[in-house]
Amino acid sequence: MVKYIVKRILLAIVTIWAVATLTFFLMNLVPGGPFLSEKAISPQATAALEAKYGLDKPMYQRYLTYMTDALHGDFGDSLKQRGRTVMSIIAMKFPVSARVGGISVLVALILGIPLGSIAALKRGKAADSVISVIATCGIAVPSFVICTVLMYFFGVKLGLLPTMGLQSAKHYIMPVIALSFYPTAYIMRLMRSSMLDVLGQDYMRTARAKGLAGGKILFKHALRNAILPVVTYVGPMLAYTITGSFVVEKIFVIPGLGGEFITAINGRDYTLIMGTTIFLATLVIVMNVVVDIVYKIVDPRIKLK
Amino acid sequence: MKENPLSFQLKLNPEDFLPATDEEKQSQIIMRESVSFWKDGMRRLRKNKVAMVSLVVIIVVMIFSFIVPSFYPYTYKEQMKGANNLAPMQYSAEEQARIDAGEKVFPHIFGTDKMGRDYAIRVMMGSRISLLVGLIATCIILVIGSAYGSIAAFFGGWVDLVMMRIVDIIYTIPDILLIVLLSFSLKAPLSNLATKPGFHWLNTVGENLVSIFVVFALLYWVGMARMVRSQVLMLKESEYVTAARALGVGNGRIIKKHLLTNCIGTLIVTTTLQIPSSIFTESFLSFLGMGVAVPLPSLGSLASDALNGINTYPYLLFIPAVLISLIILSFNLLGDGLRDAFDPKLKN
């Protein structure tokens, strides 16, 4: 077990390092550096700027400096937002995204698990067909389609919900629906198939033969086993929520990290792009490791390789 | 003749050597042709109504995006004066005058956009781009993934170990972030390349699209590689592989001829299910403005452009939005159907 955890963490560290290195060199591929797009500036000013940001040093030295700084949580200053460090921007924007994303993940789990179970228990009945159709359609609809359709009907046509910002609880409704739509559909499908699998197992028959009450069989024997695949999905779901937030935050004008990332790309704010990428990648990778380890602990049947 | 009890001689019966009677010959005739893998799969697929409907939808969408634009009276970049923001089936003043004069004017089925371009042809071109991206990206993934997975599984040992660790690392990298980064940093080198002779096509395709392909080639094959690896691991223990090796067949030929052809079911299913996810990613990127180059439309960028006029011209948004969902849904359902037909074991 310890060996597995150590191996997993080492792999994660290598991955994070690979992402950071890749990010650094990709950003340096852009010719002329970040100051090219500005108006014509004197050579002295360019030199001064380059000296300030350390761009006059050779590549490997810059790489080492960037990596050591990044290890200390310092991603440098934002190039466009004067006088603010990348870390302070992330620290300010990320909680907003995390709140919306967290609520969406919870909604997906709360809706997806029971609905998927119901579909499996009522296999072949009307409830099953309805849930299956919703689930199949749900994974086929891109998040921007859901966002725009929601916005048109509830925001524009009916005027029920506010279309931008995050000032009140009401503001959360549409972004959360848009963000949790795909994961909910996916969990429903996952839960349905794993529940069907579990229901066919021998121990279910044994439990019924022992005369256990239906509820007890369902919660103690079926659900606990069927829920395991959903646990593994939490990692990818998180990655999805983060990338999904790019679109959702852009459309609903939410002051979160996803929207900030898009703005940084359009504004060519190199340091902010690099910092955000490394931060988000690290987050996803770390969460994946945690989920994997939790999964191994929760399910002792899985042999540790 | 005296029989030796220790003799190995067979006791032959002369009657066994008589010519076969007609009745006996009859039993040797194959009444029904043996059902091949393909026929069996196709038969099962044909019975699956949902998959067949999706197949029809896909074919119709393909006809509309690849064939119809070639004889459609408008082009996707033609801007008509005075025909801005027409509602579906509406004519501009100039066109109305021509109709009154007795001329025939092809209607704008989906209206026009704010630049006065016929929206129907733009949607068709958009779905052409989306489908092309899905198909080309999937081909790249198929080639790289199956080669990588089969090599890792076939050679096993430390080769497998190292190759699969690389897959593990790539698997955990959040792909969208990397696509964004790559499309950003590949822009300049690619536009440099586009000015060189022989690479002018890069301008029409757009640097972003090329970098999307690069990213697919770099990152997305890992799922396919894992799938193929697990299949090949199982297949390489089969007798026919041993037999082939005994005959002196080289490794490359065994992989190509014996292993990959035998996991064709898995390959078909994984490939079909990969197409919608590639289209999904492309539309997502186009929506964020990181997809195809400007005059070319893609369903994602059409939806993105229409977002500003959502109050007044909602149909400009809904048409591409519905179409992209329909394409992804059909490919998903067809993939599910193919899985049931060709690879029933895969179904969980």
Higher pLDDT, residue B1 or A230: A230
- A253 interfacial to chain B (CB closer than 8 Å): no
All residues of chain B having their beta carbon less than 8 Å from the beta carbon of residue A243 are: 174-177, 284
Residue A302 has pLDDT above 60, yes or no: no
Residue B240 has pLDDT above 80, yes or no: yes
C-alpha to C-alpha distances, A98 to A10, A159, A261, B108, nearest whole angstrom: 26, 27, 14, 45
Question: End-to-end distance of chain A based on CA atoms, in angstroms?
Answer: 9
C-alpha to C-alpha distances, A105 to A99, B149, B234, B318, nearest whole angstrom: 10, 33, 37, 27
Query: A142–B324: do the CB atoms touch at under 8 Å?
Result: yes
Query: What's the pLDDT at A304?
Result: 45
When scoring B57, B127, B181 by the number of chain A Cβ atoms within 10 A, the one with the most, hence best to mutate, is B181
Give the Cβ contact number of residue B111 at 10 Å. Answer: 20
Query: What's the pLDDT at A170?
Result: 79
Q: Please, which residues 149-178 of chain A have a Cβ atom closer than 8 Å to chain B?
A: 149, 151-152, 156
Residue B90 has pLDDT above 70, yes or no: no
Name residue A85's beta-bridge partners: A77
Residue B4 has pLDDT above 80, yes or no: no
Lowest mean pLDDT among A134-148, A165-179, B88-102: B88-102
CB A53 within 8 A of CB A86: no
**Partner residue opposite A243 with nearest CB, options B169, B174, B188:** B174
**Partner residue opposite A281 with nearest CB, options B174, B186, B188:** B174
Measured in angstroms, the CA of A243 and the nearest CA of chain B are apart by 7
Query: What's the pLDDT at B348?
Result: 43
What is the DSSP-derived secondary structure letter of residue B196?
A: S
CB A235 within 8 A of CB A292: yes
Work out the pLDDT band at B88, boundaries 50, 70, 90. low
Listed residue (B132, B286, B320) closest to B208, CA to CA: B286
State the burial class of residue B275 (Cβ atoms within 10 Å of its Cβ: 0-12, 13-18, 19+).
Answer: buried
Listed residue (A188, A227, A228, A220) closest to A204, CA to CA: A220
Give the Cβ contact number of residue A84 at 10 Å. Answer: 13
Query: What's the pLDDT at A305?
Result: 39
Residue B210 has pLDDT above 60, yes or no: yes
**Partner residue opposite B287 with nearest CB, options A29, A144, A151:** A144
Q: Name the phi and psi angles at A200, rounded to 5.
A: -85, 0
What is the DSSP-derived secondary structure letter of residue A57?
A: S
Tokens of B142: 């198929």
C-alpha to C-alpha distances, A131 to A27, A128, A134, A136, B307, nearest whole angstrom: 45, 5, 5, 9, 30
Question: What does pLDDT average to over chain B?
Answer: 79
State CA B135 to chain mean position distance.
4
**Partner residue opposite A285 with nearest CB, options B172, B280, B283:** B172
Question: What does pLDDT average to over chain A?
Answer: 80
Vertex A99 angle, CA A94 and A100, to 5°: 105
Q: What is the mean pLDDT of residues A144-169?
A: 78
Residue B77, SS3 per DSSP: coil
What ipTM did this prediction achieve?
0.75
Higher pLDDT, residue B88 or B325: B325
Rounded CA separation B150/B226 (Å) = 9
Higher pLDDT, residue A191 or A35: A191
Q: What is the pLDDT of residues B288-337, one digit of tens each?
A: 777 676 677 888 888 877 777 777 777 778 888 888 888 888 888 888 88
Q: What is the pLDDT of residues A244-288, one digit of tens each?
A: 788 888 888 888 888 888 888 777 777 888 888 888 888 888 888
State the burial class of residue B333 (Cβ atoms within 10 Å of its Cβ: 0-12, 13-18, 19+).
Answer: buried
All residues of chain B having their beta carbon less than 8 Å from the beta carbon of residue A144 are: 283-284, 287, 300, 303-304, 321
Q: What is the pLDDT of residues A54-89, one digit of tens each?
A: 666 777 787 888 888 878 777 777 777 777 788 888
Rounded CA separation A180/A186 (Å) = 10
Vertex B253 angle, CA B251 and B257, to 5°: 130
Give the residue on B whose Cα is nearest the Cα of A32. B188
Which residue bears the tokens 């109504």? B49
Q: What is the pLDDT of residues A199-238, one digit of tens each?
A: 888 888 888 888 888 778 888 788 888 888 888 788 778 7
- B289 interfacial to chain A (CB closer than 8 Å): yes
Query: What's the pLDDT at B219?
Result: 79
